[in-house]
Amino acid sequence: MSQIRIAPSILSADFAALGAEIEAVDRAGADWIHIDVMDGHFVPNITIGPTVIKALRGRTKKPFDVHLMISPVDPFIDAFVEAGADIVTVHPEAGPHLHRTVQLVKSRGKRAGVSLNPGTPVEALDNVIGDIDLVLIMTVNPGFGGQKFIDSQLAKIGAVREKIRASGRRIDLEVDGGITTETAPRAIAAGADVLVAGTGTFAGGPTRYADNIRLLRG
């Protein structure tokens, strides 16, 4: 397995200083910047849109890992790509044709991810595993930061790792939700190679970010 990468979720950053926060986690050693987009419909929260992402794009050269928790998702893919997304991750439930959505992302020259909620079966990946670049396992129900890690999802991480191995393809396995210094090693042991950490990264303020990232990476 490749080196563990850390993708701080800006959902837990200081929204009054997002640009500075992104610069701070970049300096602290973040590998990607994880951006949670919520519409108040697909999930019970509203966060940010492409205009904010475009405004932040110049603050770092690190990949923007954009998780779209919106439905319908297809009409907004182009806007997020144009705003600066490098990875676009969608949910099987966010549109009627997951394969078409994945192909739309790929046609725009971006990496395509599929996210599985705690109640979404691993089998949702079966007909797109040959096309995607990333699988995101949610270890909380999406919508809010600071939730507790759902232990039952460890088996799902392991099952997806086996699917990736069987595919023979290079696919990132990302885990998001309740990632702390206690749960990160368990997620990694189950097969994760990218960890999304909001509270786990941003706790303690900018002087703590480098240590937080180092401890999460293990």
pLDDT in tens, 161-213: 999 999 999 999 999 999 999 999 999 999 999 999 999 999 999 999 999 99
| Domain annotation for the chain: domains and CATH numbers | 5-217 (3.20.20.70)
Q: How confident is the model over 53-64, as pLDDT tens digits?
A: 999 999 999 999
Catalytically annotated residue among 31, 133, 176, 193: 176
Closest of 48, 51, 133 to residue 90, by C-alpha: 133
Contact at 8 Å (CB) between 81 and 106? no
17 has a pLDDT exceeding 80: yes
Catalytically annotated residue among 31, 36, 65, 193: 36
Is 39 an active-site residue? no
Q: Work out the angle between the directed axes of helices 18-27 and 209-217 (0-180°, nearest 10).
A: 50
Q: How confident is the model over 73-94, as pLDDT tens digits?
A: 999 999 999 999 999 999 999 9
Is 36 an active-site residue? yes
